[in-house]
């Protein structure tokens, strides 16, 4: 059995999570429920669970305060949060599982399945550390992006990404260190994440970091030359937006 503890100050949320887990995951045993940082730490140290459902906002502190008081790298964690843009951005960039309130049973089941498949190894711990870093920097902006391939978890500093290129459902990341990382996700996902943070989708297959533009070549319909000497096409639809950006510099 996988021992789990639910930490949430809302009793109805505790009960909802417990009910879904009991009906869908016979291998998970709820060994305790807690509603404060203090009681959660006591329950975790006493029961030594493998899985934590952890609300971010608690009456006497944050869920992170709990993790600071225990050896948090021994546990798999699914965070629970009300809709807070800064927190959700940190989750997405860190590829970390979370549940939004009000609880959606399908999302909860999917998150649990994802977490159960993950190994509690050095890569998982690295991903957790990256989430902490992104969350702590959420006011000034997320700094790191987690990319998962079949055999590795890559942690990229946002400033090191030069561009992304799409090939159907795959996206290749090009960095200023010369690395290429191929991810089995469509570029649309990264367009939504990165465009508010200094990136631009110039073409159906290309997403660029605006800080790495070397120049815009007006010949042959126009193309962007990046710092890595790559030539990136600009669609007719995006040309006006790009020119407006360049004129503002």
Mean pLDDT value across the chain: 89
What does the DSSP 8-state code read for residue 160?
G
The reply to whether 2-136 and 158-248 are identical in fold is: no
Residue 23 C-beta-side C-alpha neighbours within 13 Å: 10
- Please state the domain extents for the chain: 2-136, 158-248
Confidence label for 89 from pLDDT (cuts 50, 70 and 90):
confident
What would the CATH number be for the domain defined by 158-248? 2.40.50.1020
User: HSE-up of 167 (CA within 13 Å, CB side)?
Assistant: 7
Which residues make Cβ contacts (< 8 Å) with residue 154, sequence separation at least 6?
A: 146, 147, 148, 181
Per-residue pLDDT tens digits for 104-152: 999 999 999 999 988 877 777 788 888 877 777 765 566 889 998 888 8
- Exposure string (b/e) for 150-183, b if CB count within 10 Å is 16 or more? eeebbbbebebbbbbbbeeeebebbbeeeeebeb
Per-residue model confidence (pLDDT) at position 140: 59
pLDDT value for 139: 54
Residue 6: count other Cβ atoms within 10 Å of its Cβ: 27
Compare 128 and 157 and report the one with higher pLDDT.
157
Would you identify the CATH topology of the domain 2-136? Rossmann fold (3.40.50)
List CB contacts of 152: < 8 A, sequence separation 6 or more. Answer: 123
Give the span between the Cα atoms of 8 and 55, in whole angstroms.
5
Comparing 64 with 155, the larger pLDDT belongs to 155
**pLDDT in the model for residue 67:** 85
Sign of CA dihedral 39, 98, 182, 207: negative
β-bridge pairing 76-81 and 51-55: parallel
Summarize pLDDT for 160-203 with one digit per residue, the tens: 999 999 998 999 999 999 999 999 999 999 999 899 889 999 99
Whole-angstrom Cα distance, residue 249 to residue 228? Answer: 21
User: Looking at the predicted structure, is the pLDDT value of residue 84 above 90?
Assistant: no
Distance set, CA 230 to CA 165, 174, 223, 225 (Å):
11, 10, 10, 6
Nearest C-alpha neighbor of 222 from the set 197, 249, 241, 196: 241
**DSSP assignment of 187-225:** HHHHHHHHGGGTEEEEETTEEEEGGGEEEEE-GGG-EEE
């Amino acid at each position: 059995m996988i021992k789990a503890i639910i930490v949430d100050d809302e009793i109805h949320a505790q009960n909802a999570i417990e009910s879904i887990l009991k009906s869908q995951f016979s291998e998970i045993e709820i060994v305790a429920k807690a509603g404060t940082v203090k009681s959660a730490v006591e329950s975790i140290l006493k029961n030594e669970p493998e899985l934590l459902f952890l609300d971010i906002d608690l009456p006497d502190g944050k869920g992170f305060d709990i993790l600071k008081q225990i050896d948090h790298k021994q546990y798999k964690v699914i965070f629970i949060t009300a809709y807070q843009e800064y927190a959700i951005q940190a989750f997405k960039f860190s590829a970390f599982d979370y549940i939004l309130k009000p609880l959606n049973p399908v999302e909860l089941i999917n998150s649990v399945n994802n977490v159960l498949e993950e190994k509690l190894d050095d890569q998982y711990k690295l991903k957790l550390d990256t989430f902490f870093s992104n969350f702590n920097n959420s006011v000034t902006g997320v700094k790191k992006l987690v990319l998962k391939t079949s055999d590795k978890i890559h942690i990229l500093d946002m400033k090191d990404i030069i561009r992304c290129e799409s090939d159907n459902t795959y996206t290749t990341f090009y960095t200023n260190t010369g690395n290429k990382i191929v991810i089995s996700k469509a570029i649309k996902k990264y367009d939504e994440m990165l465009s508010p943070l200094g990136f631009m989708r110039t073409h159906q297959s290309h997403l660029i970091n605006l800080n790495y533009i070397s120049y815009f070549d007006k010949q042959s319909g126009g193309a962007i030359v990046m710092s890595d000497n790559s030539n990136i096409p600009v669609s007719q639809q995006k040309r006006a937006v790009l020119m407006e950006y360049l004129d503002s510099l």
